[in-house]
Amino acid sequence: MATMRAVDIKGGKGPIENMFINADMPRPKVDHAKALVKVKAFGLNRMDLMQREGVYPLPPQAPATMGVEFSGIIEEVATEAEKGFKKGDAVFGLAYGGAYAEYIAVSTHMLMHKPDALSWEQCAGIPEVWITATQALYLIGEFEPGKSVLWHAGASGVSIAGQQLSKGNGASKLFATARSDDKCDFCVKELGADAAFNTESTNWAQEVLKATDGKGVDIIVDFIGPATFAGNLECIARDGRIVNLASLSGMKLKPEMAQPDFGNFFRKRCRVEGSGLRSRDETYQGKLRDSLHDHALPKFVDGSFKVLIEKTFDWEQIQEAHRLMESNKTKGKIICTIP
């Protein structure tokens, strides 16, 4: 049996210290429409922390190895692989898991060719956050030029992508929230937000209403959950869309949190919809890949859109990379490379 090195977890789950590089992991095989890719770089995402701790519900097709985005070189393609992909192609893409490894088997429907103008590290930081942002903004949020958008957790990877997408595609107003003034300044100065509000020191919902002359915003993309639920209902515009992608403040409303006025549902005719990307089928993810390829990839190449990388690690430093992600101090992607 062919083997490879991959990041493993002692006992299957646990703290950062349980992670190690296992030199005797089975190399994946390709079938159907898959390609075997030799990984050059992979991106970290917050779901990886939850998976490591054993609290992330994996889709049935996901391998135990962490990591959903990567860049690398195709080693082999299966007989049903999408036309246009062949051995030796430089690619990047999204997977259900398995990117923290020397090799990954992934559907060619979720691969894109790597532009020469972008590095391996940049390409490894695109798929998960940019496809998630595209899904939230367009498929669920029903964004059109002229609509206003609020992105919570403004310095997170998905919101960094989302703010660039919103600004670059004609949002009338762009807002963000974050938990520090430094991150708020980053959203305004680096990403082009019209304003960003510190959720720890301001009544951000009231500030959004002031900035929109009382109308509110047309689309809110939220990762926080209970702690922002009441504020979202307060500052969403009539017929607005609230897209919930995560619940970082827990799973239930707590007494100390602002309590929602459910009358806003009726008065504003707003819609709240939750979504996740990893559990979607290949066909759905393939459509998102095509949308990203058509609408965003040219802007990466010409420099209009930027992949902001906080820090790059050698994958032997995977524990240090996870510590940095857990610190919540980043303003961009964390990338690991495999020499």
228, 259, 274 - which closes a domain: 274
E runs forming strands in the chain: 3-9, 19-26, 34-43, 69-77, 90-94, 103-107, 111-113, 149-151, 174-178, 195-198, 217-222, 236-244, 271-274, 309-314, 333-337
7 residue type, one letter: V
Rounded CA separation 241/313 (Å): 38
Are 282 and 265 in the same domain? no
Number of domain units in the chain: 2
Are 36 and 142 in the same domain? no
* C-beta of residue 214 within 8 angstroms of C-beta of residue 236: no
Q: Extract the tokens encoding 168.
A: 């670059």
Rounded CA separation 274/132 (Å): 12
Rounded CA separation 30/28 (Å): 7
239, 255, 274 - which closes a domain: 274
Are 180 and 291 in the same domain? no
* C-beta of residue 159 within 8 angstroms of C-beta of residue 183: no
Are 286 and 201 in the same domain? no
Rounded CA separation 284/134 (Å): 12
Are 17 and 87 in the same domain? yes
Estimate to the nearest angstrom the gap between the alpha carbon of 235 and the chain centroid.
Answer: 24
E runs forming strands in 103-222: 103-107, 111-113, 149-151, 174-178, 195-198, 217-222
Are 135 and 266 in the same domain? yes
**Residue for token pair 């595209």:** 134
The enclosing domain of 211 has a CATH number of 3.40.50.720
Mean pLDDT per 10-residue interval, the chain, length 339 residues: 96 96 96 96 95 90 94 96 94 96 96 96 95 92 97 95 95 97 97 97 97 98 96 98 93 92 93 84 81 86 93 98 94 95
Question: What domain range includes position 35?
Answer: 3-126+278-337
Are 77 and 155 in the same domain? no
Are 253 and 146 in the same domain? yes
Are 140 and 267 in the same domain? yes
pLDDT value, residue 24: 96
Q: Extract the tokens encoding 299.
A: 């802007």
The pTM of the full predicted model, rounded to 2 decimals, is: 0.89
Rounded CA separation 205/216 (Å): 9
Are 300 and 218 in the same domain? no
Rounded CA separation 124/283 (Å): 21
Rounded CA separation 199/228 (Å): 9
pLDDT value, residue 74: 98
Are 74 and 182 in the same domain? no
Who's near 110: CB < 8 A, 6+ residues apart?
93, 94, 95, 127, 282, 285, 286, 289
Are 152 and 246 in the same domain? yes
Rounded CA separation 22/159 (Å): 33
